[in-house]
Amino acid sequence: MLFKIASASLIGIDAYLVDVEVDISLGIPGFITVGLPDASVRESKERVKAAVKNCGYEFPSRKITINLAPADRRKEGSAFDLPISLGLLAHLDLFPLERLEDYLFLGELALDGRLKPVKGILSSAVLAKRKGFKGIVIPKENEKEAALVQNLDIYGLENLVQVVELLRDADNISPCRYSLEELLPRLDYDVDFQEIRGQQHVKRALEVAAAGSHNVLLIGPPGAGKTMLARRLPTILPPLTFDEIIEVTQIFSVSGLLKGRGVVGERPFRAPHHTISDAGLIGGGLIPRPGEISLAHHGVLFLDELSEFKRRVLESLRQPVEEGTVTVSRASMSITFPAFFMLVGAMNPFEDAYGGLSSSGFSWTDNQRSRYYSKISGPLLDRIDIQAEVPKVEFRDIISKVEGESSTEIRKRVIEARER
């Protein structure tokens, strides 16, 4: 007998429909999965078999063929465990088969039948609504993420037995209900501009940058507070809109970075190490995944010690900084990721990077200075609108009891400036 269950897989940050076709026929008992599955999909055989048995159901001792259609796209991840197991259980007449047509199913199975969270649930929920499904059945830990999609029944269940119960009688289990107020976290940063002493002109430069979404280069000696200032830049940016929250949460979900948060409600701040590769920065992989610039979408990308980054890595920023997107091309596909971010670079002046005198006691030459600054190309510098000098903080500012402006006060002015 042949059974078909709807599921989804990811391409970029978007999901596409995958038909999980389960054929159970007479023949030598076996279990084969086709349709370009990766290792984690092929291993589902053992997880599904153990989960079905440990939940008290009979595992068919027959020839089992699983096809993941469309067969010309590579499938990865463990989200197909649930739809595969339901295809096997459909053989036992545990529930009306037409109920399978109402939902999109995703979830990894533990050996005891528990549903474990998977990546990309928000994108899959968007797909389910677009394709006209009544609802989506997912692990309990993923339900808040999926609940951002309105007018779609979200069933966050804990184990395989509950899924069977839902299909047997949908009235026994209610979809989860969340108001937007419950889903969207309060804006609560753990850092504030008020904590910074002095540096008034740099704070003003960052305020102007925030108002106009300008890129910034901070130049100053070690210990002047460049990193501290950059980390507080997201706190003065306007709150994310609902559509921006959807986009940012999608990117973090696909990358597996939600970690139980459900929803990303704050402006991202990403600070990759200077040893990062160009693929790590702009995205890549056999099936391309978002890089740091996409994880900084609608937020801040901070490159500390800018001159220490490989020139090729910095050059890869030119197109994303200009266009707000990045396209990753592979032999079989080309994927465009969103990458609208504020670039903040920080570097030391030449003399602070290498010392005032050379080891031989002679002053550094102009050529040596030129080589130091030439690591940052002219075209990239052209895309950095504001360059601010960050001097060392004066002692009188350190001991001053006068508190500076809070991030909340500065953010109000930034919002007013953007609304003009």
Reported confidence tier of residue 420, pLDDT bands at 50, 70, 90:
confident
What's residue 402's pLDDT?
A: 73
- Alpha carbon dihedral 207, 208, 209, 214, in 10-degree steps, equals 170
Take residue 170 and report the two structure tokens written for it.
Answer: 């949908």
CA distances from 311 to 277, 316, 376, 386 (A): 11, 9, 7, 21
Whether 2-181 and 193-419 share one fold: the answer is no
The pLDDT of 388-395, averaged and rounded, is 86
How far is residue 38's CA from residue 344's CA, in Å, rounded to a whole number? Answer: 38
What proportion of the chain, given as a percentage, has pLDDT over 70? 94
Cis peptide before 70 (omega within 30 of 0): yes
How far is residue 51's CA from residue 111's CA, in Å, rounded to a whole number? Answer: 5
Mean per-residue pLDDT of the chain: 90
| In the predicted structure, residue 362 carries a pLDDT above the cut 70 | no
The pLDDT of 117-129, averaged and rounded, is 97
The pLDDT of 216-224, averaged and rounded, is 92
pTM: 0.90
H or E element at residue 18:
strand 14-25
- Alpha carbon dihedral 69, 72, 75, 80, in 10-degree steps, equals 10
Cβ atoms of 134 and 102 closer than 8 Å: yes
Cβ atoms of 109 and 141 closer than 8 Å: no
**Long-range CB contacts (within 8 A, 24+) of 56-59:** 56/161, 57/89, 57/92, 57/94, 57/164, 58/92, 59/88
Provide the CATH topology of domain 2-181.
Ribosomal Protein S5; domain 2 (3.30.230)
Helix (H, G, I), strand (E, B) or coil at 224: coil
Reported confidence tier of residue 359, pLDDT bands at 50, 70, 90:
very low
| Cβ-Cβ contacts under 8 Å for 331 (sequence gap 6 or more) | none
The DSSP-derived string for 268-333 is -EE---TT--HHHHHEETTTTEE-HHHHTTTSEEEESSGGGS-HHHHHTTHHHHHHSEEEEE-SS-
> In this predicted model, which residue has the larger pLDDT, 297 or 395?
297
CA distances from 146 to 129, 143, 155, 177, 229 (A): 11, 5, 9, 11, 35
The pLDDT of 366-395, averaged and rounded, is 81
Q: Is 9 exposed, middle or buried (0-12, 13-18, 19+ CB in 10 A)?
A: buried
Residue range 231-280, pLDDT digits in tens: 999 999 999 999 999 999 999 999 999 877 789 989 999 999 999 999 99
Take residue 317 and report the two structure tokens written for it.
Answer: 């920023």
How far is residue 279's CA from residue 292's CA, in Å, rounded to a whole number? Answer: 9
CA distances from 418 to 210, 408, 413 (A): 9, 15, 9
Name the β-bridge partners of 20. 5, 68
Take residue 95 and report the two structure tokens written for it.
Answer: 């529930």
**Could you identify the residue written with the tokens 């184990």?**
159
Burial 285-316 (b: 16+ CB within 10 A, else e): eebbbbbbbbbbbbbbbbbbbbbebeeebbeb
Cβ atoms of 16 and 54 closer than 8 Å: no
The second-level CATH assignment, the architecture, of 193-419 is 3-Layer(aba) Sandwich (3.40)
Domain spans in the chain, listed from the N-terminal domain onward: 2-181, 193-419
